[in-house]
């Protein structure tokens, strides 16, 4: 019987690949493919905005955007063991740039700094998240080194025993129902491994799934008053009108891929635009939740497949030029 040989896994010193943090590591991380690797580890869908962003006499390494929420994410890099200086800087960057998430990347986290990140997550609002990420480089025999992001600290907020969420104890029964429904939807999507980055469910009527570009999101709804659930491509900001017009040119093909006719811009008077698919659903009847969750997750996957590539490739340069002229 022939025994197959296995390679030897070797850890590489970070400075062998990136001798200088600002000039080499930060530009590498800012590349789309590498920022996607980090986002997959965090459960966020990150879009690069800028690097070396001035904050007083200092500079934030990377300013990104979480395309699922449209909010800013600060990324502070450190190719050495964590220290107090970088901790203070990342807090200042988050405050000045009004970030919704702060990511601290380092080669090694001290227990004190990891506990500090945990403490911040447990004592700040649900609108602000902190992440500690250890980066490593590994090689198999003589292969090229491969990066690995290990998340050593992340937010872990759940609905409390009193029915509240994130410290709020006044969640209504309908909001709790929605939270539990979205939790099942999120869990099913994780099992399917169809969506790389998923938000934490919240007690509200919507649940967003990133589609890879700012101002676009798959926004799912669970309406307990009209007894319906839905999946929508939500287009916001000034790009909405032009984006909708461009996507409508492919309406027939998009609906063929999804397998059903969609509702295109049902509320034309509103600035934000939607492309939606709905179905009746009584969330009070938990015996039907399996059916509802199955429909919701399958439809989310179809929407992402039909719209993600098209959204990323939309030419919205005319709107961007108008914004620059007005500024």
Tens-place pLDDT, residues 270-297: 888 999 999 999 999 999 999 999 999 9
Is the CB of residue 230 less than 8 Å from the CB of residue 276? yes
- Residue ranges matching CATH 3.40.1350.10 in the chain: 9-153
CATH of domain 173-312: 3.30.1460
Q: What pLDDT shows up at residue 164? A: 44
> CA 321 → CA 148, 324, 325, distances in Å?
38, 5, 6
Cα–Cα dist 45/154, whole Å? 15
Q: Residue 217: which of 200, 194, 228, 233 has the closest Cα?
A: 233
Least confident of 59-73, 148-162, 274-288: 148-162
Q: Residue 208: which of 229, 173, 182 has the closest Cα?
A: 182
Q: How large is the average pLDDT for residues 46-67?
A: 90
pLDDT at 84 over 90: yes
What single string gives the DSSP state of each residue in 240-255? HHHHHHHHHTTHHHHH
Tokens of 16: 């062998």
Residue reference for tokens 């509320």: 267
Cα–Cα dist 215/244, whole Å? 12
- Residue ranges matching CATH 3.30.1460 in the chain: 173-312
pLDDT at 203 over 60: yes
pLDDT at 70 over 80: no
Q: How large is the average pLDDT for residues 295-307?
A: 96
Most confident of 142-156, 185-199, 220-234, 295-309: 295-309
What are residue 216's phi and psi, to 5 degrees? -130, 135
Q: Residue 235: which of 208, 272, 267 has the closest Cα?
A: 272
Q: Considering only residues 197 and 131, tell me which one the structure prediction assigns the higher pLDDT.
A: 131
Q: What pLDDT shows up at residue 112? A: 93
Q: How large is the average pLDDT for residues 136-152?
A: 91
Q: Are strands 71-81 and 216-223 parallel, antiparallel or unpaired?
A: unpaired
Q: What pLDDT shows up at residue 158? A: 43
Q: What pLDDT shows up at residue 160? A: 41
The overall average pLDDT reported for the chain is 87
- The separation between the first and the last C-alpha atoms of the chain, rounded to the nearest angstrom, is 72
Q: How large is the average pLDDT for residues 188-211?
A: 87
Model confidence at 302, in pLDDT bands (50, 70, 90)? very high
Q: What pLDDT shows up at residue 185? A: 96
pLDDT at 324 over 60: no
CATH of domain 9-153: 3.40.1350.10
Q: How large is the average pLDDT for residues 315-320?
A: 73
Q: How large is the average pLDDT for residues 298-316?
A: 95
Q: What pLDDT shows up at residue 176? A: 86
């Amino acid at each position: 019987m022939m025994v197959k040989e296995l390679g030897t896994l070797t850890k590489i010193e970070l400075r062998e690949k990136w001798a200088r943090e600002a000039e080499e590591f930060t530009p590498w991380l800012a590349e789309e493919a590498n920022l996607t690797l980090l986002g997959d580890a965090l459960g966020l869908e990150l879009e690069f905005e800028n690097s070396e962003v001035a904050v007083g006499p200092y500079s934030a390494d990377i300013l990104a955007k979480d395309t699922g929420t449209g909010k800013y994410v600060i990324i502070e890099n450190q190719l050495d063991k964590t220290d107090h200086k970088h901790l203070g800087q990342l807090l200042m960057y988050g405050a000045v740039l009004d970030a919704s998430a702060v990511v601290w990347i380092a080669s090694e986290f001290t227990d004190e700094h990891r506990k500090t990140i945990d403490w911040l997550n447990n004592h700040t609002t649900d609108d602000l998240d902190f992440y500690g990420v250890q980066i490593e480089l590994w090689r198999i025999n003589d292969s090229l080194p491969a990066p690995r992001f290990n998340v050593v600290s992340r937010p872990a907020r759940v609905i409390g025993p009193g029915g509240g969420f994130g410290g709020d104890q006044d969640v209504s029964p309908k909001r709790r129902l929605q939270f539990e429904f979205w939790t099942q939807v999120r869990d099913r999507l994780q099992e399917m491994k169809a969506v790389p980055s998923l938000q934490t469910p919240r007690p509200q009527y919507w649940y967003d799934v990133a589609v890879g570009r700012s101002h676009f999101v798959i926004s799912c709804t669970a309406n307990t008053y009209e007894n319906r659930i839905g999946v929508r491509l939500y287009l916001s900001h000034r790009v909405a009108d032009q984006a909708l017009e461009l996507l409508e040119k492919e309406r027939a093909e998009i609906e063929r891929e999804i397998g059903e006719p969609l509702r295109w811009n049902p509320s034309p008077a509103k600035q934000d635009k939607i492309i939606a698919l709905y179905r009746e659903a009584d969330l009070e009847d938990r015996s039907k939740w399996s059916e509802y969750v199955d429909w919701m997750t399958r439809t989310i996957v179809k929407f992402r497949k039909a719209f993600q590539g098209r959204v990323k490739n939309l030419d919205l340069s005319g709107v961007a030029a108008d914004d620059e002229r007005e500024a």
